[in-house]
Amino acid sequence: MIEKIKKFFSQKENIALTLFVLILAILFISLFISNFNLLKVFIFISLILAAILLIYFLQLQKKPKEEKISFFFSFFQNLLDYLQEGIVIYDEFKIIFANKSFCEIVNLKKEDLIDLIVKNEMIKNERYQTLANIFFPFLQGENLKIVSQKPETIEVKFSQPQEKYFLISYVDIYLDKKYKLRIVLDKTEDVVEAQKRLEFIQMVGHNLLTPLSELRWNLEAINLNKLPQEERDFLEIALGIIKATVAFAESILTMVETEIGQLKLRIEEVDIEKIIVSLLEILRGKIEEKKLKVNVEIEEKVAKIQADRRVLSLSLFALIENAVLYNKTGGSVIIKIQKMAQRPYLEIIIEDTGIGMSKEDLANLFKKYYRGQKAKDLDIKGFGIGLYNAKKLANLHGGDIIVDSQENKGTKATLILPLDLSLIPSL
């Protein structure tokens, strides 16, 4: 251990790096010091270390340009080798630096990478395939998603040479000239773990949904007319709770299937009026509690359409439920189902006279787990997945959801779905 420490500090660059880290650590600790005298001591020590570091860099300025560049590369190497993210610096696809994490990601030694010119034909070479995939992700990448533009960052999956998930960022750096720096984060373990969790939720959901559905069918089979009014009321309340729970469980399962890419559309003839009636029945308790007026208008030529019943039901349920839950007492909900003018699309418009949404809520409306401040203030229960799931399902069906809202005036949500099956991308 002592020999390793001596070897580490035998390099001037490592001394500079240690001083720099110490200064940062002392300044960070000083943020939590309330004693003024002790704070002065910490600041004094950091100033001394900073002065030593400054002298070191001033001495560096006297060195020839080539030595300066060599120093900076050596300094960066020591700094970047401590990072868990893979870092590679290159010039015209010729690698001039790769840290330890990057070497581990591509399963190559540092000496094999330095001065190597990466070419796209390396994708066919098993030894260099991961390296080439990272440099040319658009050739074999799957599920490629642009995360941000500045810095340019993408998420991508590769199936060869083995299934891998990477987050890759591209940055320009300037030393003696402009170089390219690529930051690579191996997310494979996180993605696999997330998939396992989703599959577990899926299994639990199916095991809960089956007995709930059987209980619902049994309750629906009871002839309520033969029961006293009080018992009838209790059974109707219980049935309403079970229906809402089944709808929630189906929403969770559908979301999981969508997330892990298992959801397959089942196109059939769907009677929209029957779906609307069943959804309003589930929400009947809340509608009556708030004394809401619900009006449904269905254009005859789109009363029955070819669609996936589950997608239509779950998307509509999320929108109608929000129109009910966030409405004002004595308010109204208007549901209009019509063909979009001069386009082969169905549009279902749901307007309410509720509390509306702020600009911030509108901007984050379809984000997973997002719940607006008003939902918290009004103590409206939920997990923030209803609209997220509805949007994903509508997109999968070749459609979309558009929401317009004004605070204290109400909300207008429009579900758009294609009437022409050729417009559904996942078929």
Please indicate whether residue 178 or residue 61 has the higher confidence score (pLDDT): 178
pLDDT at 56 over 90: no
Most confident of 8-22, 198-212, 230-244: 230-244
Question: Do both 255 and 168 map to the same domain?
Answer: no
Q: What is the pLDDT of residue 43?
A: 54
Lowest mean pLDDT across 12-26, 119-133, 344-358, 395-409 = 12-26
> CB-based burial of residue 197 (10 Å sphere; 0-12 exposed, 13-18 middle, 19+ buried)?
exposed
pLDDT tier at 402 (50, 70, 90 boundaries)?
A: very high
CATH number at residue 99: 3.30.450.20
Question: Do both 253 and 318 map to the same domain?
Answer: no
| Structural domain total, the chain | 4
pLDDT, tens digit (0-9, with 9 covering 90-100), for 236-247: 778 777 877 777
Domain of 371, in residue numbers: 267-427
Query: Residue 85 in contact with residue 177, Cβ under 8 Å?
Result: no
> Is residue 35 in some structural domain?
yes
CA–CA dist 160, 57 (Å, integer): 46
Last residue of a domain, one of 263, 283, 301: 263
pLDDT at 65 over 90: no
Question: Do both 242 and 388 map to the same domain?
Answer: no
CATH number at residue 310: 3.30.565.10
> Is residue 75 in some structural domain?
no
Q: Collapsing DSSP states into helix, strand and coil, what is residue 111?
A: helix
Question: Do both 339 and 328 map to the same domain?
Answer: yes
Q: What is the pLDDT of residue 66?
A: 46
pLDDT at 40 over 70: no
> Is residue 127 in some structural domain?
yes
> What is the DSSP code (8-state) at residue 207?
H
Q: What is the pLDDT of residue 185?
A: 86
Question: Do both 386 and 335 map to the same domain?
Answer: yes
Span 125-136, mean pLDDT? 90
pLDDT at 249 over 80: no
pLDDT at 129 over 80: yes
Please indicate whether residue 196 or residue 4 has the higher confidence score (pLDDT): 196
Span 87-101, mean pLDDT? 87
Task: Single out the residue of 97, 287, 124, 279 nearest to residue 182, CA to CA.
Answer: 97
Question: Do both 362 and 381 map to the same domain?
Answer: yes
pLDDT, tens digit (0-9, with 9 covering 90-100), for 106-121: 899 988 998 899 998 9
Question: Do both 206 and 350 map to the same domain?
Answer: no
Span 364-387, mean pLDDT? 74
Span 271-293, mean pLDDT? 90
Lowest mean pLDDT across 17-31, 231-245, 312-326 = 17-31
Span 386-390, mean pLDDT? 85
Question: Do both 136 and 221 map to the same domain?
Answer: no
The chain-wide mean pLDDT, for the chain, equals 79
Q: What is the pLDDT of residue 25?
A: 62
CA–CA dist 304, 388 (Å, integer): 26
Q: What is the pLDDT of residue 58?
A: 47
Question: Do both 300 and 224 map to the same domain?
Answer: no
pLDDT at 220 over 60: yes
CA–CA dist 183, 87 (Å, integer): 5
CA–CA dist 180, 94 (Å, integer): 10
Question: Do both 286 and 405 map to the same domain?
Answer: yes
> CB-based burial of residue 341 (10 Å sphere; 0-12 exposed, 13-18 middle, 19+ buried)?
exposed
